[in-house]
Amino acid sequence: MTTTTRTALPALPEARTSRTNRTRSGDGVTFARVVVAEWAKFTSLRSTTWTLVATVVAMVGVSVLAAWGTTIDAVDAGTGPMNLAQFLGAGYQLGQLSVAVLGVLTITGEYSTGMIRSTFAAVPRRVPVLGAKALVLAGVVALTSLVSLALSYLATMPFHDALGARLDLGDPETLRLTLGVPLYLVAISLLAFGVGVLVRHSAGALTAVIALLLVVENVLMLIPLRVIELISPFLPSTAGRRLLFDQETLTAVDAATSGAHLTPWQGYGVLLAWVAGLLVLGAWLLRRRDA
């Protein structure tokens, strides 16, 4: 046998016959196609799958811990029936970190690997890429949060009786607390995505977002300067988080802070405004900057 391990020279491309076919209007870049492409990219990375799994595990885990811990306390303290929604969404603090990482990496992963040049060569108008990525991210994060809620419900079932807790989605506050989880997490992932678009470097953007979510806003709240007290309620996660607080918590928070007291939906609106602002700025820079 004299066959070598080398493959023969690959075939040369044939000139395709019907060039005119392919220049029809139906054949170019459309937003729907860019969304399909971004979906294909999203689902073909192992790291995204793992981040999503981690999100679900963390959120369900925190729910179970919260429910279990409260069962013990509740027995001791003998408190009355509770709103189950609070337990189901208890993991949002941890969940927001992993969806923020996902949001940042969705874009900075392309810059760090050089993929962005392939992406923009295929879609030179660029802004559709931003829209498609945001859409895919929002959809995936919403779905992941809903799955987390459902699994949390199932996982905490053993404690439902002991807590005397129920989930009455007909109750406006319960509905807000429940839907608030996917809504809040989607907004946070988009906020992180927006920061990623501006910063372009994974480490820088991650640091900025995590510092914003965990440190900056909390530290600012401690500084007794009038200016900061006025601004503080309008910071993205301080405002947006109000969607996840029940009336009792809101009252307690408001008692402890001066400055504006936003309603939960106003707070969420402020968060969305931040997201919109970042994405508009991002889109503008995206078009102007070299890839």
Partner 1 sequence: MIEVQGLTKRYGPKTAVDGMSFTVHPGRVTGFLGPNGAGKSTTMRMIVGLDHPSAGTATVNGRRYAEHHAPLHEVGALLDAKAVHTGRSARNHLRAMAATHGIGRSRVDEVIDMTGLAPVADKRVGGFSLGMGQRLGIAAALLGDPQVLILDEPVNGLDPEGVLWVRTLARHLASQGRTVFLSSHLMSEMALTADHLIVVGRGKVLADAPVADVVAGATGKVVRVRSPRATELEDLLRRAGAGVVTTEPGLLEVTGRSRSQVGDAAADAGLPLHELTEVGGSLEDAYLQLTAEELEYQSSALDQTTGAFAPTTEGALR
The amino acid present at 217, given as its one-letter code, is E
- Say whether 83 sits in a helix, a strand or coil: strand
Closest to partner 1 by CB, 226 or 289 = 289
Phi, psi of 18, rounded to the nearest 5 degrees: -100, 70
The pair of structure tokens assigned to 199 is 């910063």
Q: Check residue 41 for interaction with partner 1 (CB under 8 A).
A: yes
Closest to partner 1 by CB, 49 or 258 = 49
Nearest distance from C-beta of residue 4 to partner 1, angstroms:
10
Q: Check residue 20 for interaction with partner 1 (CB under 8 A).
A: no
Closest to partner 1 by CB, 30 or 251 = 30
CB 212 within 8 A of CB 167: no
Closest to partner 1 by CB, 7 or 247 = 7
Please report how the helices 46-77 and 92-113 are oriented relative to each other, as an axis angle in degrees rounded to 10: 170
Q: Do you know the residue count of the chain?
A: 291
Q: Taking CB under 8 A as the criterion, which residues in 117-146 touch partner 1? A: 117-118, 120-125
Establish how many alpha carbons lie within 13 A of residue 86's alpha carbon, considering only the half-sphere containing its beta carbon: 14
Which of these ranges, 3-11, 57-65, 147-155, 171-179, lies near partner 1 under the rule CB under 8 A?
3-11
Angle, vertex CA 70, rays to CA 67 and CA 71, nearest 5: 85
Q: Which of 1, 12, 222, 256 binds partner 1 (CB under 8 A)?
A: 12
Residues forming contacts to partner 1 in the complex (CB under 8 A) are 6-7, 9-13, 15-16, 19, 22-23, 25-30, 33-34, 36-38, 40-41, 44-47, 109-110, 113-118, 120-125, 288, 290-291
